[in-house]
Amino acid sequence: MRILGVDPGLGVTGYGVIESRPSLRLIEAGVIRTKPAEGIARRLAKIYTALSEAITELKPDVLVIEKLYAHAKHPATAILMGHVRGVVCLLSGTRNLPLVSLPSTRVKKAVTGRGHAGKMQVQRMIQQALSLKTLPEPPDVADALAVAVTYSQSIQPKSAR
């Protein structure tokens, strides 16, 4: 099964595709960068187009993202992330690709053993889980891969764990 994990962000959107069987294997990972000067509509279109191309090329079976979490001190950030999440959800719907949202604490706990782990811990554990020679950089890539890895663990038969 191919799993596309996405870490939605307006400035940097991380993505990663893994194959979950027979063992975890990285297919492709990267980032989509946008600049504030491009304006919100252009930025969202760029993210939509890049993820759409990744879906066409990599043919994932499912799309996985983190549930939206907003800190009360930063409501504007949550709104902007919500726009990008909307683009990801739209892609899921238009491509008939199942969409799964996982809480960030569940992802971090599944990957590191701690629900409030730091970015570096997530990067190191994803490096280990996927047998990567280097840390997945930037952290947005590691976060995208972490949601994909977490989903892969949740779909495996209990006898295989």
| Residues catalogued as catalytic | 7, 66, 140
Q: Are 61 and 2 in contact (CB under 8 A)?
A: yes
Cβ atoms of 60 and 97 closer than 8 Å: yes
Which residue is it, tokens 């629900």?
Answer: 115
Distance between CA 95 and CA 58 in Å, rounded? 13
Q: Which of 126, 123, 106, 102 is nearest to 115 (CA)?
A: 106
Closest CA to 4 of 80, 125, 99: 99
Picking from 107, 152, 145, 121, the residue whose alpha carbon sits closest to that of residue 15 is 145
End-to-end distance of the chain based on CA atoms, in angstroms?
16
From CA 154, how far away is CA 113, in angstroms rounded? 15
